[in-house]
Structure 1
């Protein structure tokens, strides 16, 4: 840099930077073929001024009308809508329509697929606020949590897929080996057909649109079984992708969203789809696995996490503490790669605990759609988890943990029918406590003490979950070595969850966090049949069958000797053995 500055004036450097920026913008514009802008009607309830009738006892399903999904705002208790749940017959009808559309879509070029995704990206960028408001209304989350978890992740996935999808799915030429040196050997990635994604409710926009992005780029049609807890927002998000397909001249039936209860998910798995991605709990994941195994449908299972953050004594706390706070309380803890266990060095334990207690005590809860800016934590989307959460906290306290903040449901003074759980700080937790081994999916900070890196590793690996993880240290090489010893599918040094913003990386876990991967080249190729193909490389050169091996063979023993010598000729590294084998081949041909 010093040499550069000695040759260029500040003005020249600025001009060079501006020129580079203009070139990058021009290149970005040129890389967006066929972008078409479109609009989608905005749901009335997305308006912050909208108010609906308040449900005295909000439930997602009324026993007197089990075929209807009741959509309500968990932050206020407002009734948003009532939506008929699809039937098994609807599932099969959706599959037929998707399969017909996919036959046409599979013939599209990568340029055509990129054009759709570029238009989708443009829409997302232009309509961020509406997308976030719809998600906030349906889940009770804040706008910041929606923007971080819904918009930025979707933009990252779109951008990576647009830029790298074709290269990832292009014919992959492999070495044919010495025996087949006259052949081209390659993998051709062909779409599976119609794939399915059974996704969770915590990020309704990204969890539904994310699998669609991968399916479209890989030439598949897709059925998304979205959660009944986000039935209302899912309708709006489906209209976005269908409108995008339509304006590009493609059949919108290529993408189906089916929002219903457990029977709908089971019907989708059994329907005849060619692949299933499931995001949810281990208990339901096992059911999906058993159901799919009966008909040999391949699955990717992402079954949640109990992610640890190991904090070593030399950690830069000014950087780490804000990251840990966001890692725990992002989306009110309803985050599969949220930090659920902070494993803290004893040397800095009291200092960090005191700081966390101060910060957590200041967190404000409410409904961002009506309360404005003074909200840090929104509502809990599922209102039937409070007894479980309170029980986990109580069990830990009974066994020696200290409850410093929260620990129970919160009765909002204005939104008395809202679903809130107090931001919680639970310290001195040990590996034998239930809360150290069960995913809470809630705004609960669990702090555990370690006496050094090896002890931290023992504590971290004692948990049966193995999705994501974090290691904080002033020495990143030490942190990386520790991260590589964790029994997890993903790890971040001095950060949390950012591996998912690196969409070039696969996403998934080990243990009861599931198996298989989505995202990255592995995820995109996982939606394809990797067909192995060989082609003659040299004109006029084809595989000959030597007369000694031509059926019917003259002598089975002589034929075997020929093959044996052929193997030594090609694969034996010893020169003398190779020469002997060549002589043997010559002799066999003379017989």
Structure 2
């Protein structure tokens, strides 16, 4: 695809197109962001806070318009889109309400005498490369802390999200953000290296796939630029001890099927100790069968299309590979192909459950980005931990247990950036988000999100 376009995944129809930015337009965007940085960094914090608070208000005021855009762009049901708008607004409010505290200088103890402080200072223009699966939320958690810190932003959104990218830029403009503090560009992936290499760009934040993260990190490293990478995940969901197996299955399915399964921190690998396995599997299958596809613009729809026909192809290939190598397909596994009507060309996939998965299968190591769940049976806690950690990814994880000592013991051994006890992790503005291993570098949200692209500047007075 040469430019940006809205290709409605529910219908397979192109609804709008936007031309790709020229190299000259990309340079102009960086020029503008750099020029504005020199004044935005000196703008009083109270003024920056007031603008970001207004951004939060506008997200809520325009909720209806915003959710309809992403229902058409990437197939998100409007009821889920409304939740995304809500947390996005909450993120802007959170950083506006806490910026003064997060940016307060820290007094240091100096053994040799005198005085020293560390001040949180901005660094310059930061490039954001954002994904399609949470078009508003991902931008919010990157943009809010950096704008309040005093950095300016050049934002490249996913090529299938041009209208939401445009809507976000308009919200910032209408909230009173100076021109150049947040610049949306319809850049191509091939233009990204030159943006990172520009000496005026001081860092890059990417949320996306592992291959994209490796490419960005390579360019950033070669140019000594800071990067934050939130990449893929294959989060384990461990069922270790419970008095309510049905409730545990409900949590697990909810953690797998949010956003039609298209979330980096979805509960993709469900690991159940032998004692609960049979009952859990039956309860899990029954809940998965409740997900029926529906029009994303219908307020009652819980399960929408995948982002593209290509995404469906990739998932079907993963499932077929597993089945060919001995996996047991208990539910789904196929494209949903309506015989007629508007959905006939859409990107629809059945909710799918696989068991008896072995390391020879691709799905054992690769991320299944969609409504495909892998269920594993293990003998005990030790085997559950080993299997949970036997993955190239380390983003999130969940532990179902009614034993607090077990919860702490297992949490300490899980190789992940986040561990949730008796829940499937949901993002909150004040909790850090990020992973280890192939799941990325750095953290977003909480106070950590404001520190990643800050200059922790030492100021030292001698006796």
Confirm or deny a common fold (TM above 0.5).
yes
The offset of 1:86, in angstroms, is 0.8
Q: 1-side partners of 2:123 and 2:294: how far apart?
A: 45
Say whether residues 1:171 and 2:98 are aligned partners.
Answer: no
Say whether residues 1:525 and 2:460 are aligned partners.
Answer: no
In structure 1, the gaps of 5 or more residues are: 1-60, 537-541, 543-591
Say whether residues 1:475 and 2:439 are aligned partners.
Answer: no
Q: Classify 1:275/1:315 alpha carbon distance in 2 versus 1 (closer, same or farther; 3 Å).
A: farther
Say whether residues 1:342 and 2:273 are aligned partners.
Answer: no
Equivalences for 1:252-291 in 2 at 5 Å?
252-272=179-199, 273-291=201-219
Q: Classify 1:363/1:225 alpha carbon distance in 2 versus 1 (closer, same or farther; 3 Å).
A: same
In the alignment, what sits opposite 1:441? 369
Match of 2:255 among 321, 324, 327: 327
In the alignment, what sits opposite 1:389? 315
Q: 2-side partners of 1:336 and 1:264: how far apart?
A: 25
Q: 2-side partners of 1:201 and 1:175: how far apart?
A: 46
Say whether residues 1:189 and 2:120 are aligned partners.
Answer: yes
Q: 1-side partners of 2:377 and 2:359: how far apart?
A: 10
Q: Classify 1:261/1:410 alpha carbon distance in 2 versus 1 (closer, same or farther; 3 Å).
A: farther
Equivalent pair of 2:79/2:299 in contact (CA under 8 Å): no
Q: 1-side partners of 2:48 and 2:86: how far apart?
A: 21
Equivalent pair of 1:476/1:493 in contact (CA under 8 Å): no
Equivalent pair of 1:117/1:213 in contact (CA under 8 Å): yes
SS at match of 1:222: strand
SS at match of 2:141: helix
In the alignment, what sits opposite 2:80? 145
In the alignment, what sits opposite 2:226? 298
The offset of 1:373, in angstroms, is 4.4
In the alignment, what sits opposite 1:57? none
The offset of 1:110, in angstroms, is 1.7
Q: Classify 1:432/1:156 alpha carbon distance in 2 versus 1 (closer, same or farther; 3 Å).
A: farther
The offset of 1:130, in angstroms, is 2.1
The offset of 1:431, in angstroms, is 4.2
In the alignment, what sits opposite 1:514? 440
In the alignment, what sits opposite 2:239? 311
The offset of 1:163, in angstroms, is 2.0
The offset of 1:355, in angstroms, is 1.6
Equivalences for 1:527-566 in 2 at 5 Å?
527-536=453-462, 542=463
The offset of 1:231, in angstroms, is 1.6
Q: Deviations over 1:265-311 (max 9, x none)?
A: 33322233101111111111111111112211111111111011101
Q: Classify 1:281/1:424 alpha carbon distance in 2 versus 1 (closer, same or farther; 3 Å).
A: same
Q: 1-side partners of 2:351 and 2:218: how far apart?
A: 37
- Give the helix-richer structure, 1 or 2: 1
Q: 2-side partners of 1:268 and 1:328: how far apart?
A: 36
In the alignment, what sits opposite 1:556? none
In structure 2, the gaps of 5 or more residues are: none
In the alignment, what sits opposite 1:466? 394
Q: 2-side partners of 1:259 and 1:528: how far apart?
A: 26
Q: Classify 1:509/1:113 alpha carbon distance in 2 versus 1 (closer, same or farther; 3 Å).
A: same
In the alignment, what sits opposite 2:94? 160
Equivalent pair of 2:246/2:283 in contact (CA under 8 Å): no
The offset of 1:97, in angstroms, is 0.4
In the alignment, what sits opposite 2:383? 455
Match of 1:239 among 162, 170, 186: 170
The offset of 1:129, in angstroms, is 2.4
Equivalent pair of 1:87/1:264 in contact (CA under 8 Å): no
SS at match of 1:156: helix
SS at match of 2:185: strand
SS at match of 2:175: helix
Equivalences for 1:125-136 in 2 at 5 Å?
125-136=60-71
In the alignment, what sits opposite 1:559? none
In the alignment, what sits opposite 2:153? 222
Equivalent pair of 1:91/1:271 in contact (CA under 8 Å): no
The offset of 1:74, in angstroms, is 0.9
Q: Classify 1:398/1:79 alpha carbon distance in 2 versus 1 (closer, same or farther; 3 Å).
A: closer
Q: Classify 1:267/1:201 alpha carbon distance in 2 versus 1 (closer, same or farther; 3 Å).
A: farther
The offset of 1:432, in angstroms, is 4.2
Q: 2-side partners of 1:405 and 1:73: how far apart?
A: 27
Q: Classify 1:304/1:403 alpha carbon distance in 2 versus 1 (closer, same or farther; 3 Å).
A: same
Q: Which structure's CA Rg is the greater one?
A: 1
The offset of 1:78, in angstroms, is 3.1
The offset of 1:128, in angstroms, is 2.1
Q: 2-side partners of 1:70 and 1:526: how far apart?
A: 32
Q: Deviations over 1:193-218 (max 9, x none)?
A: 11111111101111223311111110
Q: 1-side partners of 2:232 and 2:87: how far apart?
A: 18
Q: Deviations over 1:460-500 (max 9, x none)?
A: 001110001110111233123211211111111011223x2
Say whether residues 1:119 and 2:47 are aligned partners.
Answer: no
Q: Deviations over 1:411-440 (max 9, x none)?
A: 134310111111111122234432121111
Higher relative contact order (CA 8 A, sep 6+): 2
SS at match of 1:187: strand
SS at match of 2:136: helix
Q: Classify 1:463/1:96 alpha carbon distance in 2 versus 1 (closer, same or farther; 3 Å).
A: same
TM-score, normalising length: structure 2: 0.95
Say whether residues 1:106 and 2:106 are aligned partners.
Answer: no
Cα RMSD (Å) of the superposition? 1.7
SS at match of 2:268: strand
Q: Classify 1:481/1:315 alpha carbon distance in 2 versus 1 (closer, same or farther; 3 Å).
A: farther
Q: Classify 1:208/1:264 alpha carbon distance in 2 versus 1 (closer, same or farther; 3 Å).
A: farther
Say whether residues 1:75 and 2:3 are aligned partners.
Answer: no
SS at match of 2:186: strand
